Chain A
Amino acid sequence: MTLGGHLVVAHGAGFRLDLDVELRAGETVAVLGPNGAGKSTLAGVLSGLTALDDGVLRHDDVVLDDPAAGRFVPPHERRIGVMFQDHRLFDHLDVADNVAFGPRAAGVDRRTAAATAERLLDMVGLGGFSARRPAELSGGQAQRVALARALAAAPRALVLDEPLAALDVATRGVMRSVLADGLAEVPGPRVVITHDPVDAFVLADRVLVLEGGRLVQDATPTELRTAPRSTYAAEVAGTNLLTGHLDGSRFEPVGADLALVVAHGGGAGPATVTIPPAAVSLFRAEPEGSPRNTWRTSVARVEETGARRRVTLDAPLPISVDVTPASVDELALGPGVEVWASLKATEISVTPTGDAG
């Protein structure tokens, strides 16, 4: 069960998507790239909303798009679900009918479709919202309905197109774990299109880094973090990923002798947090009027990454920190140098991971 091929789309002035991909069943692949990298074009190509200009797209042995052979399978025959960034719920239908839309279009009877809708709304945490109108929902709720709607159509593959970009930071963490549950419902290939490395690290088994319409790296999240192959990849790969235990606003990373205060926590249980490398500041003396997280540590090593320097810290919390070359000189940073690290609670993204974490 694979979905992929050699995909070429020429978009008017200058832009050209040109890559080979292979998405396997049961695997979640993050497509990571800056704005304009061609990520959403890829979503369109897979779902059939965008036609290829060259190359070929296959789903197992079935050719979905082959411009040279004049073959194109329209979206409704592909059954590749898409959850759109702008959710695209039908305003004239209530929440339950939105979710039941796919099964109804497939000829499933009203009662069975309603039961499917109810089960999926429960799964995304919106039981009891059936009779609401999309206009009455918050952004996060609308995205949950959009996820349930995509799943209800029993898609052969699922594409989440920037599922969290329209949400505020506080709702992203919880929504990410809802997405993880949703992805697990799809036996086929799963794709998460994002510009946020956190999504890639938390949700994906494999990361495709896309820049300027081309594939620059195809790696596991771990490989991407240890050996990023471009400046962009290095920037995003520096994102620190910690697993541990969350208790309200207190997070205890596994294997670290330090607890972090997080702003967007809540609840208790296993969780994953991410810390952007640029969010940590280093000082020679203990900072005054400090942010909520301040600790004393020492530098393990300093590396060059493009225009920045990446400092890796030692115990109690071995994370990466991006600083300017000027700061390296000013603080005389080098292996073994003692420093104070500080980190704002609001810069930490939290994703509850349930039993899986």
Chain B
Amino acid sequence: MTRPPTTVPRWVVALAALGAVFFAVPILGLLIDAPWRDLVSILTGSAVLEALGLSLVTSVAAAVVAAVIGVPLGVVLARVEFPGRRLVRALVTLPMVLPPVVGGVALLLAFGRRGVVGSILESVTGWTVPFTTVAVVLAAAFVATPFLVLTVEGAVRNLDGRHEAAAATLGADPGTVFRRVTLPMILPSLRAGLVLAWARALGEFGATVTFAGNLPGRTRTLPLAVFVELDTDRATAITMSLLLMAVSLVVLVSMREHWWGRR
């Protein structure tokens, strides 16, 4: 097989190379400046462990929330015709493009003491959401769920319904068909969407700091801790950044097949 001569102009290749450098340099910088010798002692320091633990708990909780509301949203958007469907889809996907800090302000207004939901919640239970760990989960779920909704909606749209129809003729009611046919058939996409949503939740900063604040042990997740430590303890900030980068890398590698196929 002979390749046809390349038709990409040299200046495009040059700009592409510049682009690659733009992405490589900061990551290299992080690796070069990393306090490799003290890495283990910093990682096992109480401030890092605290932030890491909080980040893991809240991001997993956010992924669970995303699954519980995001899968049904994706299925309904793909399968049910109803007036205002486009509006609902726009609403649900808005957090993907909305500046996270705006999302945080909106959540604060809704769940805050004088907010629509917050005031009712407080008068009934005496409990307020903002500046709690629950607020961290809500903020992360708010920005992460859209990734799952879109992935699931796309996957369900690609099902032609033939297998579900066959399952119905075998006596399976709609609930059984959903559980035993629809969900398994979209499983690869579901898994990808969940990992993506979880990764987004793990990295959440803007909505969290606005809605949940920056309280050590309660709402200070890894990204917040990185930001705080950057002024006081550079080595710790870099170490935590490396940790987050390592997680992102694992996510990227695990998603390789789903996004680009087997090449």
Contact = CB atoms under 8 A, between A and B. Distances in A.
B169 A105 contact: no
Given A84-B166, A88-B162, A105 B187 contact: no
B170 interface: yes
A92 B166 contact: no
Nearest to B166: A88
A105 B166 contact: no
Contacts of B173: 76, 105
A20 B131 CA distance: 70
B29 interface: no
Interface residues of A, number: 27
Contacts, number: 64
Interface string A147-160: 00110010100000
Interface residues of B, number: 19
B171 A82 contact: no
B176 interface: yes
B117 interface: no
A92 B187 contact: yes
Given A92-B184, A92-B187, A101 B169 contact: no
A80 B169 contact: yes
Nearest to A75: B168
Contacts of B105: none
B180 A101 contact: yes
A74 B172 CA distance: 10
Nearest to B161: A49
Interface of B: 162-163, 165-174, 176-177, 180-181, 184-185, 187
Interface of A: 47-49, 74-76, 78-82, 84, 86, 88, 90-93, 101-102, 104-106, 149-150, 153, 155
26 contacts: A47-B169, A48-B168, A49-B165, A74-B168, A75-B169, A76-B173, A76-B174, A84-B162, A84-B166, A86-B162, A88-B165, A90-B163, A90-B167, A90-B181, A91-B185, A92-B184, A101-B170, A101-B172, A101-B180, A102-B171, A104-B180, A105-B167, A105-B170, A105-B172, A150-B170, A153-B171
Given A101-B172, A105-B173, 4 more contacts: A74-B168, A92-B187, A101-B180, A105-B172
